[in-house]
Chains A and B, each alone.
Chain A
């Protein structure tokens, strides 16, 4: 099946720093999604990307759909303690219903 390589696996940063994480795939995706998961909860959608080259922001978060359609990155600027959690990328091929998830990036923010 499809595989997504998400990196880094974990990050430990100071409050106020910027963060960058990315996902790469061996195959092309038509949609890239970024989710955040807080402890004890389900993943919550942060940003959805539908077009190669697309750059989308949501507050302090910015994500891009790679031009090759095989990668995406997520940046968080000026991190705050509530940014702590696990961030997942996910890719969707067409309308085949099956999302492929990366293994997640665990973000820890030191106040």
Chain B
């Protein structure tokens, strides 16, 4: 999806390892989001950043931390990965909170 770039696209970790997922957008959007997608569960919000300098918890924040590095970049960190965090992670952005979100193509993360 043009405008929202996620890296890496795939990653395999061992339990206990740490990892930072990166998200960058070039649409000058104010708000950025991290979701996880599990089979049969839809997308669940982990953390979001309404604007540069702010972050807030979503539905499933435990085990994760985030950093809004600047307006363009929003990273998601797993300090000590657990098998339950095996999932596909999506970053999304919006100009403001009441507008549709635009998604990246995801990071597929497996934790053994």
Taking Cβ atoms with an 8 Å cutoff, the residues of A that contact B are 1, 4, 6, 30-31, 33, 35, 40-45, 48, 88, 92, 94-99, 101-104
Smallest Cβ-Cβ distance to B56: which chain A residue: A97
A-B contact pairs, 20 of them (CB 8 A): A4-B42, A6-B42, A30-B98, A31-B98, A31-B100, A41-B106, A42-B1, A42-B92, A44-B103, A45-B100, A92-B98, A95-B96, A97-B48, A97-B94, A97-B97, A98-B58, A98-B59, A99-B33, A99-B101, A101-B44
CB distance from A9 to the nearest CB of B (A): 8
Say whether B105 contacts A99, CB under 8 Å.
no
A-B pairs with CB below 8 Å: how many? 61
Say whether A1 contacts B103, CB under 8 Å.
no
Specify which of B41, B48, B103, B105 is in contact with A98 (CB 8 Å cutoff).
B48
CB distance from B21 to the nearest CB of A (A): 14
CB distance from A38 to the nearest CB of B (A): 10
Q: What's the Cα separation between A45 and B43 when bound, in Å?
A: 14
A42-B106, A88-B42 given; name 13 further pairs at CB < 8 Å. Answer: A1-B59, A4-B42, A30-B98, A33-B100, A35-B103, A42-B92, A42-B105, A95-B97, A95-B98, A97-B33, A99-B33, A103-B41, A103-B42
